[in-house]
Amino acid sequence: MIELIAVVISVLAVFLTIRQSLWGWIFGIMGCLMYIYIFSTANLYGNMSLQVIFIINSLVGLYNWKYGAKDKPQLPLSRLNRTEKILFPFAILLLSGLIIQIFHKLSLNHLYIKDDLNYPFILDSFSTAMCLVAQFFLIKKRVENWLIWAFNDFMCIFLFAYQKIYLTAALYALLAVMATIAFFTWRKSFHAQTL
């Protein structure tokens, strides 16, 4: 039941965020609180830890969207600059490696092992890193944040199905579609605001 409620709240949060509503952040916080429990029971500690970071980032995002532009009522949409385009893939890889090392040090990686290659541990770490980068760009209202989310959501369908949290896997299939739609919606809005 908690997973079903978390799915509904998360879809609503993304829908509101696509519409650039501040309420998206608030519903996002509620969904994150539920997913802390869900991911802990599925032994996905990277994504569980990520929910705590999402809650903090959501508070920052809520403030930044509301007060981030001095001369406008809300922060306007923007595109990745050249430096961000070059650095973000390296940031994802660096963060992935750092997360893997932290989990090894905390001896959490053994909780994931279900096969020799330890796919859940590696994918969970990579997903956590991608989400951190995507969240950073979402807070800044960069249009391309949705492309990172879409790729991550598609990858997580398989991760969550492998860990037998099937409603969440279905949620991420829907989120992958929503993130793709969001990219084109925000890109159109960005072009409209620059005319």
Segment 38-54, tens digit of pLDDT: 988 887 777 788 899 89
Whether residue 178 is predicted with pLDDT greater than 90 in this model: the reply is yes
How confident is residue 160, by pLDDT bands cut at 50, 70 and 90? confident
How confident is residue 153, by pLDDT bands cut at 50, 70 and 90? very high
The reported pLDDT for the residue numbered 133 is 95
Geometric angle at alpha carbon 187, from 30 and 51, rounded to 5°: 20
**Ramachandran assignment for 66, one of left (phi > 0), alpha (psi -120 to 50 degrees), beta (any other):** alpha
The reported pLDDT for the residue numbered 107 is 63
pTM of the entire structure?
Answer: 0.84
Q: How is the chain split among helix, strand and coil, in percent rounded to 5?
A: 80, 0, 20
Instruction: Pick 129 or 159 by higher pLDDT.
Output: 129
